[in-house]
Amino acid sequence: MAKNLLPMDALIAGYLLEAIQSSGLTYRQIASDTGMSINRIGIILRQESPPATLGEIGLLGSAVGLSASELVERAENVARQRQDYELVANESINEFPEGNDADYDHA
C-alpha cells in the first residue's frame, strides 16, 4: 500500500522543486550529482508517493545549495503560520510508545 504524503512532505517537495527550477539544473544533472534515479527525482518533485526520505531531501537539497535542515525549517515556518495546516496526519503520530518518555528526550 502506498504511503500518503503528509503536508510537511508536500511543502518540502515544493521547496525542492522551486530551488531546482531556479537553479537551471536538469533532472539528468541532478541524478548524476546525487546518484538518484531520474524517475525517483520526478516522483518526489511531483509530490507522489512514497515521499522523500530525509536522506533524499539532503541529496536533492545539496544539488542546489540547500541542506535538509534548511528545507525542513522553511516548511515548519510556513506550517506554524497557517492555523489550518497540520504538520502530521493525525495526533497519534506524536505519541510516544508505552513506557518511559524520558528515553526519547535527547535534546
Question: Domain count of the chain?
Answer: 1
Q: What is the pLDDT of residues 3-48, one digit of tens each?
A: 678 888 999 999 999 999 999 999 999 999 999 999 999 999 999 9
Q: Give residue 89's pLDDT.
A: 47
12 domain residue, yes or no: yes
DSSP assignment of 51-66 equals PPPHHHHHHHHHHTT-
99 domain residue, yes or no: no
Q: Give residue 80's pLDDT.
A: 79
The answer to whether 89 and 6 have CB atoms below 8 angstroms apart is yes
Residue 19: which domain range? 7-89
- The reply to whether the predicted model has a pTM over 0.85 is no
Q: What is the CATH number of the domain that holds 67?
A: 1.10.260.40
The answer to whether 44 and 58 have CB atoms below 8 angstroms apart is no
106 domain residue, yes or no: no
